[in-house]
Amino acid sequence: MWETLTTFFTGACMTTVSRRRPLARSNAHFRKAVNALPLGVSSNFRYWGEDRTLYVKEGRGGRITDIDGNRYVDYRMGYGPGILGYADPRVDEAARAGMEVGGVFALSTEREYEVARRISRMVPAAELVRFSNSGTEAVMAALRLARAFTGKDAHIIVEGGYHGVFDAVLWYADIEDWDPARGEPPIEADSEGIPRLLKRLAHFTPLNDANYLEDLLKRHHQDIGAFLIEPMMGNCCSITADVEYVQAARELCNRYNVVMIVDEVKTGFRVARGGVQELMGFRADLCTFAKALANGYPISVVAGREDIMRQVGEGVVHGGTYTCHSVSLAAAEKTLEILDETDALETIADYGTRLQAGMSDILNTRDIPHSFVGHPSMGGLFFHETPPATYRDWLDSDYTFYDTMAPELHELGVLCEPDSREPWFICEAHAKDDSLEYTLAAFEQAVDATLERQQKEQREQQEQRQEHQETS
């Protein structure tokens, strides 16, 4: 690979963007790592191919540096945990103090109570709190509590929703070739190795269709104990539920004795101090939190109504050796203090709003239809003038422009998820340097490169058609 430099003038600022990245060290490390780690990584989502998988040297603020020395403005932020930025000195200082406590014990500490009370004050639905280590663990616990409370084993998942990597939720509704006249869409597993007998426990419903949800509950409510929903779908372009739909779902869950589990693993303590529930003005029966809770330190929460949560210890088992590690708990305490008592969330939302406005200006000058979905702190970019209201809308859309543009941004030092379903995550640190100017300069160049590539492909296709006509 080679490297050239392009300079952009953005207002009064001069922004320099690297055009090409060397990846020799990352590629060499992949060839070594794949001998010890399947796919050369420890999470499937970190594998981008043999010649594109990156290995990080360090992260600071809103940027990361890979082992080749390439520096990126990062809008993945660990899929959302870095709400304040990498290596935030306030949080890391608290974590180091937490380290002095001793790590993990077969006992509890006083700090657990203090952090739990902070969460309950910020999220009214969180009457009681239990800690775990990951979003997956929190959702597992929520489902177990819902089943115990209702005595019913099945659950509903909203199409396009993501709730972790455990067997009960790794299913999807196969709607690509589905004929609605034949009833509910077929359900397929997201992974090999999942027991097929679990399929009967999973039902699916489209977002923002209360009539469909009501019909589903009328037919299966005797078996369904939980309704799992991300009101802002963090793994599906941040497609957001209508407030009216959420209110209708809330009433239907009450009517049919179904526990409403609101998965706020990504939205919690990010889109508002009280999460998406605060934005939409409703209360879950159970809710889960993780990502932004401790600015990247591993910790999660299942919380909710006291009568449901009190089942823990009265029949429902919940625990974990590494739960409430003193480092993670101290980091959570400090992160929540900052998010609750400073203007960090307002700063993050303002940056996201300005970023989207700048991107929109660039796209509008080129007559490229587009819209933004979700919240400015975790917004999805959608290349259609009408934002999607359901996963079906996203699935039926043309997302080739995004798929082509994303690798161009990577070459220019802006790291977004290559899959358009993943939103752009903003952190407080993005607003404290020239990230905005740099991103917009790179975005403009990436858009133009994508347009040029599309035009080239169209010319080649036209030439091929002409050649075919001449030969025939």
- In the chain, where are the structural domains located? 5-21+70-79+343-460, 89-341
The residues near 254 (Cβ < 8 Å, ≥ 6 apart) are none
DSSP line for 230-278: -SB-TTTTT-B--HHHHHHHHHHHHHTT-EEEEEETTTTTTSSTTHHHH
Separation of CA 353 from chain center = 18
Distances from the Cα of 357 to the Cαs of 4, 17, 344, 352, in angstroms?
Answer: 28, 20, 20, 9
Supply 306's token pair.
């006291």
DSSP 425: E
Q: Are 405 and 447 in contact (CB under 8 A)?
A: yes
> Strand pairing partners for 227?
156, 260
Distances from the Cα of 18 to the Cαs of 75, 325, 359, 438, 452, in angstroms?
Answer: 17, 41, 19, 10, 19
Q: Are 232 and 162 in contact (CB under 8 A)?
A: no
Q: Are 372 and 354 in contact (CB under 8 A)?
A: no
Specify the pLDDT at position 471.
Answer: 80
φ/ψ region of 374 (left if φ > 0, alpha if ψ in -120 to 50, else beta) reads: left
Specify the pLDDT at position 180.
Answer: 73
Specify the pLDDT at position 5.
Answer: 39
Specify the pLDDT at position 73.
Answer: 98
Specify the pLDDT at position 447.
Answer: 98
Residues of the chain with pLDDT under 70: 1-19
Q: Are 190 and 164 in contact (CB under 8 A)?
A: no
Specify the pLDDT at position 461.
Answer: 84
Specify the pLDDT at position 9.
Answer: 38
DSSP line for 363-424: HHTTT---EEES-TTEEEEESSSS--SSHHHHHTS--HHHHHHHHHHHHTTEE--SSTTSPE
Phi and psi (nearest 5°) for 364?
-65, -40
Q: Are 217 and 256 in contact (CB under 8 A)?
A: yes
Specify the pLDDT at position 241.
Answer: 98
C-alpha 100/C-alpha 133 separation (Å) is 20
C-alpha 465/C-alpha 59 separation (Å) is 49
The residues near 298 (Cβ < 8 Å, ≥ 6 apart) are 133, 134, 322, 325, 328
Fold of 89-341: Aspartate Aminotransferase; domain 2 (3.40.640)
Q: Are 292 and 269 in contact (CB under 8 A)?
A: yes
Q: Which CATH superfamily is domain 5-21+70-79+343-460 in?
A: Aspartate Aminotransferase, domain 1 (3.90.1150.10)
DSSP line for 14-62: EEEEE-----HHHHHHHHHHTTTSGGGSSSGGG---TTT---EEEEEBT
C-alpha 300/C-alpha 329 separation (Å) is 10
The single residue listed with the structure tokens 């509590």 is: 145
Supply 82's token pair.
């870095």
